[in-house]
Amino acid sequence: MGKVLRFFLILMLLVSIAALTLEHYMYSQRYELGLRDDRLQEGLARVSQKLNAARDPYVTAIEAGVAAADLKDRAAMGGKLGVLQSNALARCEQLYAAKDELKRTRDDLTKTQQELAQTKQELDTARAEIAALNEKVTQKETEIAQARQKIGELEGQVAELKRQIDENRIQIAKLDGEKKNMIEERKRLEDALAPFLPPPLPSKDQIRSLNGHIVLVDPEWNFVVLDIGKLHGLQKNTQLLVHRGEALVGRIRVSDVRDEMAVGDVERAWVTAPLQAGDRVFIQ
């Protein structure tokens, strides 16, 4: 009996020790949880304060705030955290809008700076052009003064020239009369000497376009007679090609030239067919 009682006493002692140990552990856990809960409430309050605060000039304040006292009630904490979440989403939208506005502002600033730089450059260019124009104006004024002086000198010279022109006109009228008389005298002399003068020489164009025909062929003495002569521009030793239709049949060298006829020696090396009366000849 005593052994059973001793066993139960030891068992009760062990259970008491285990209960004390468990109670101490639970107390420490409750204390740790309390500390964590306090830190969580303080952190949420700071987050709410920072989240709801304004950020001039683009981010405005959020009126639906969450105070630290509102987070002490565990039952109402869920709703307050929902408000905090809504505030966070609203703040994100504000930040994105502020970011877009800031980007637009930077773009406008960059554009304004570029326009300002361009305006400055244009202003510098305009100033340089004005300075150059002022220099040109000064130069032109000097040139005008010199030109006026020159004009005064020229006016005197013009007056003198007018006087000389009037004198020359009188002299020219006199010379025109003499020239008319000389032309009439020349015409009279040309008409009187015309029967005794040789015909005029042909022009270069006439010589280049010179062509004629063979009127007589002497194969024994190897010469031909042509229907063109000095009056057509033909000269001695001129070489003429002989064609029959489109074919080249020979070449001749003029040995004697009269006014309207000529004699040419046949160059045998060029003959491809016997020459005939009627064959056409022209300058090589």
Whether 215 is covered by a domain: the verdict is yes
With beta carbons less than 8 A apart as the criterion, state whether 273 and 250 touch. yes
Confidence (pLDDT) at 225: 97
Higher model confidence: residue 23 or residue 272?
A: 272
Start-end of H helices in the chain: 2-52, 74-193, 204-208
Whether 177 is covered by a domain: the verdict is no
Whether 12 is covered by a domain: the verdict is no
Residues 272-277, mean pLDDT to the nearest whole number: 94
Residue 225's domain spans which residues? 204-283
Confidence (pLDDT) at 4: 66
Number of structural domains the chain divides into = 1
Confidence (pLDDT) at 135: 87
From the list 283, 279, 274, the residue with the least C-alpha distance to 226 is 279
255 — pLDDT class (breaks 50, 70, 90): very high
Confidence (pLDDT) at 83: 65
Residues 227-233, mean pLDDT to the nearest whole number: 89
**pLDDT at residue 200 is higher than 60:** no
271 — pLDDT class (breaks 50, 70, 90): very high
Whether 112 is covered by a domain: the verdict is no
From the list 276, 270, 272, the residue with the least C-alpha distance to 219 is 276
The pLDDT tens digits of the residues spanning 153-165 come to: 888 888 888 888 8
Whether 109 is covered by a domain: the verdict is no
With beta carbons less than 8 A apart as the criterion, state whether 267 and 250 touch. yes
With beta carbons less than 8 A apart as the criterion, state whether 71 and 77 touch. yes
Confidence (pLDDT) at 273: 93
Cα–Cα distance for residue pair 32/17, rounded to 1 Å: 23
Whether 261 is covered by a domain: the verdict is yes
Cα–Cα distance for residue pair 27/23, rounded to 1 Å: 6
Confidence (pLDDT) at 61: 55
Whether 234 is covered by a domain: the verdict is yes
Confidence (pLDDT) at 268: 92
253: CATH: 2.40.10.340
Worst-scoring range by mean pLDDT, 64-78, 107-121, 142-156? 64-78
Whether 118 is covered by a domain: the verdict is no
* Biggest alpha carbon–alpha carbon distance for the chain: 196
Confidence (pLDDT) at 281: 95
